[in-house]
Structure 1
Amino acid sequence: MSMNGGRERLVVIGGDAAGMSAASQARRLRGPDELEIVAFERGHFTSYSACGIPYWVGGDVGERDELIARSPEEHRARAIDLRMRTEVTEIDVAGKRVRARDVDSGAESWTPYDKLVIGTGARPIRPDMPGADAPGVHGVQTLDDGQALLDTLARTRGRRAVVVGAGYIGVEMAEALINRGYEVTVVNRGSEPMSTLDPDMGRLVHEAMEGLGITMVNDTEVTKVLTGQDGRVRAVATEHAEYPADVVILGIGVRPETGLAQAAGLPVGQHGGLLTDLAMRVRGHEDIWAGGDCVEVLNLVSGQEQYIPLGTHANKHGQVIGTNVGGGYATFPGVVGTAVSKVCDLEIARTGLREKDALRVGLQFEAVTIESTSRAGYYPGANPMTVKMLAERRTGRLLGVQIVGREGAGKRVDIAAVALTANMTVEQMTALDLGYAPPFSPVWDPVLVAARKATAKVSAP
């Protein structure tokens, strides 16, 4: 029984994908007379697509509101007491309560809970260097961030942009700024862009980005952001050079936002994300759940916890949490590490393990790379694509796939994602009954061509 007149109270920290999916699913299962739901969100927006921000900035998505799946008013209409612009500053696990502060007024109050959901998300990594907080330097993690960047672009006369980092956000923001007519330089500390790929596949992305007019500077760290007399950014400096900039985008990744949880003594893993069981319950805590970009997930291929902040996972976590909080039963078994991205017309996809991931967990493998096309070679619009495949030595178990190509390349990675989840061998994959007609693929789909080559390699004496 609860402290709340017979009703249980669910408190949710974070109003985006995981938190509000959990709240909505719990509400479907239990009405307001059984379960009171209070949710806190420190920003201006709820239930939005952070993944869509680069496309909004670049002009592919016209209006900010198109990225919002459910507004605060829509949540409140479903009997969720959603408190916007309110930041939770402390979790009192022993007392089963949270302290929250109104961002605008500074007023603080405690709210007791029976069940707690932590969906605090991730925060952009801001380099610890002079000028990183100067006006004109932007991270892009939330809708508030996206709006601030668009406001800066509207006010800025110059057309020179520097993107720091060449992961998903970096390459997507480079595309967005190219689309807006900016001169774009990407400064990347890795040897090639997209460190989620092996360097030989990252090289293909590098060449394509330069072909789009983006200046790529690899193997280089930004050491400081230089400002003008007005205090605004004017350039970024590396050890050997300066790159003029009217706007700087930080695309060097994110970290789990778990300071609040760590201060409360909740368990975090080696990547800094909260650790949960299969039901997304925080380990060792009966009444606390966590999901989304603040947790670590099990990689089903490596068998190890990994930090993979993606909206797909966050929404699934929320469904699982909401089901369990609402009295049902659901689990989240883990991921295989699938992601797709694009920079202009180049599609980039990966799933499973890279070479260095396999080596780190002690797996021996064979790697093959093939060139093919998205359609039958004679059919109009056939585009080249490169597929790299890793298979375990001796057993032939599929370990990972990376694909770089033009239209029709990216979503082919889903074939491999399913095969990885099903623990298939590359030989079993060669028999997959995939859809074929000349407008869709060659007779042998590129993924199956790679599987054939991998089969021959793992079975060679």
Structure 2
Amino acid sequence: MAAARRMVVIGGDAAGMSAASQARRLKSRSELEILAFERGQFTSYSACGIPYWVGGVVDGPDKLVARTPETHQGRGIDVRTHTEVVEIDLAGQRVLARDVDPRGAGDERWHGFDDLVIATGAQPRRPDMPGIDAPGVHGVQTLDHGRALLETLESTRVERAVVIGAGYIGVEMAEALIQRGCQVTVLERGEQPMSTLDPDMGRLVRDAMTGLGIDTVTGAEVTEVITGEDGRVRAVATKVSEYPADLVILGLGVAPETGLAQQAGLPVGPYGGLLTDLAMRVRGHDNIWAGGDCVEVLDLVSGRTRHIPLGTHANKHGQVIGANVGGDYATFPGVVGTAVSKVCDLEIARTGLLEAEAAAVGLKFEAVTIESTSRAGYYPGSRPMTVKMLAEQRTGRLLGTQIVGREGAGKRVDIAAVALTVRMTVEQMTALDLGYAPPFSPVWDPVLVAARKAAGTVKSSLSGA
């Protein structure tokens, strides 16, 4: 009887464990041995839920765990927690794993593989500046990070918090800290918060954050985290000012954690993420796979690779990898860059390209912005909404959509995401048969109002050409 193949997985969260689980569904233990290494104590968890755990909206960490290590073990996946892979030997088809359990001996051991899955995720960006590693400064990427942050909040009197960076993590953590009764200052280097939006839409987010009591300072380049005599953080300095702080959150986004892969000579793209083919196989390597926040993916609108760290993508990557390792066939065609978030009752969404992104790939476009409401204007609870839409000149192909509004605004971006995926024009979008009733939408949904205006602008530009 032939020996079972061995699948080794580095990383025990969404991509890694989805790959392991899917492969196990397709192959028995006698056919495929699955060994997964996770340097933390949790597996298959929702990092996206950490701000809501910190803010007291949901319980954690157990509520944020979809499958525990014990669950995976019961399904025939050998999960080793508190174990970090420190080296990949491609020629020898083996990895070196180290015991990092605080109670352990730090032992190291080589493990061979037939198929290797790299799902090392991403790491919070930590600028190189004085005080950045001081007690009271927290990144937010894993459940261990979330637990450490809560321990600080519960053991220390935190009245003033400073969030460095106003991207998705930054604004969500600002909300969480407001809900805990902190005075919150957000420092953003850019022109407006949410660099994932065009500046004119980011301005709406800034106005709303200010209205919610969040002091939002833009054009603020942080130079130092100032510590007190006890070594803990006491303030954050920019080039022009100083902001008192009992706690600092790093909301500067994340970078692909690919140092281990790069040391092994595996290819990375312009954002530092691993490059794969459509089957999620690392380019140039038949038995090396990668997925999740450590990879770059194809942008279906621009035709270039991007780094978009989202759990939705990671789970799909894992499903594709597991299917292929298990002898089936699957591909991940790419993304259109859809993301949605909120700060208190403000909903923020985007899909496709921003103006700067479209210009960077040489696309000529028309941009329109409309104001509408979430429901029929006369229906109780109707809330304002702003929709911005980009359409390609001449063809009218939808290039991107951004939405900022209150209840009912964010998930409308899914209409545009589908339209982008099938390469619809804005004129074609105006004929979409969307659901209508006064409690849910005006007669013309805001997305269709924007599409109609964009279609008219494209026609006007053609007639004037």
The two structures have a TM-score, normalised by structure 2, of 0.98
Alignment of 1:401-440 (within 5 A): 401-440=401-440
Aligned to 1:152: 152
Q: Which residue of 2 aligns with 1:90?
A: 87
Aligned residue type for 2:337:
G
Q: How does 1:293-312 map to 2 (within 5 A)?
A: 293-312=293-312
Q: Hey, what's the Cα distance between the residues in 2 that align with 1:202 and 1:174?
A: 16
Deviation above 6 Å: which 4+ runs of structure 1?
A: none
Question: Once the 2 structures are TM-superposed, how far is the Cα of residue 6 of structure 1 from its aligned partner?
Answer: 1.2
Shift of 1:155: 1.0
Which blocks of at least 5 consecutive residues in structure 1 are unaligned? none
Q: Structure 2: which 5+ residue stretches go unaligned?
A: none
1:342-357 equivalences in 2 (<5 Å): 342-357=342-357
The C-alpha deviation readout for 1:72-116, integer Å capped at 9, x for no partner, is 000000111100000000000000000010003210000000000
The alignment status of 1:33 with 2:38, answered yes or no, reads no
Q: How many residues align?
A: 458
Aligned residue for 1:56? 53
Matched AA of 2:213? G
1:331-353 Cα deviation digits (max 9, x unpaired): 00000000000000000000000
Q: Which amino acid aligns with 1:97?
A: R
Asked if 1:78 is matched to 2:75, the reply is yes
Counterpart code for 1:189: R
**Identity, % of aligned pairs?**
78
Match of 1:219 in 2: 219
1:263 aligns with 2:260: no
Distance 2:119 2:217 in 1: 36
Counterpart in 2 of 1:11? 8
Q: Counterparts of 1:355-374 in structure 2 under 5 Å?
A: 355-374=355-374
The alignment yields a C-alpha RMSD, in angstroms, of 0.7
Please tell me the residue identity of whatever aligns with 1:360.
A
| Alpha-carbon distance, 1:239 to partner | 1.1
How many Å separate the matches in 2 of 1:217 and 1:129?
20
| Residue 398 (1) aligns with residue 398 (2) | yes
Partner residue in 1 for 2:379? 379
Give the one of 21, 29, 33 matched to 2:18: 21
* Cα-to-partner distance string for 1:412-434 (whole Å, 9 max, x where unaligned): 00000000001000000000000
Query: Displacement of 1:257 after TM fit?
Result: 0.3
Q: Structure 2: which amino acid aligns with 1:98?
A: V
Secondary structure of the residue aligned to 2:448 is: helix
Deviation string, structure 1 residues 325-379 (Cα, Å, up to 9, x no partner): 0000000000000000000000000000000000000000000000000000000
Match of 1:67 among 64, 67, 80: 64
User: Within 2, Cα distance between the matches of 1:148 and 1:44?
Assistant: 13
Please give the alpha-carbon distance, in whole angstroms, between the structure 2 residues aligned to 1:79 and 1:224.
49
Distance in 1 separating the partners of 2:270 and 2:92: 28
Aligned to 1:329: 329
TM-score by length of 1: 0.99
Q: Which residue of 2 aligns with 1:317?
A: 317
Cα distance, 1:62 vs. partner? Answer: 2.1
For 2:41 and 2:147, how far apart are their aligned partners in 1?
A: 11
Alignment deviations for residues 171-226 of structure 1 (CA, whole Å, 9 cap, x no partner)? 00000000000000000001100000000000000000000000011011110001
Instruction: Provide the C-alpha distance between the structure 2 equivalents of 1:324 and 1:459, rounded to a whole number of angstroms.
Output: 46
What is the aligned partner in structure 2 of residue 278 from structure 1? 278
Find the residue that maps to 2:407 and give its secondary structure: coil
Q: Distance in 2 between matches of 1:235 and 1:44?
A: 32
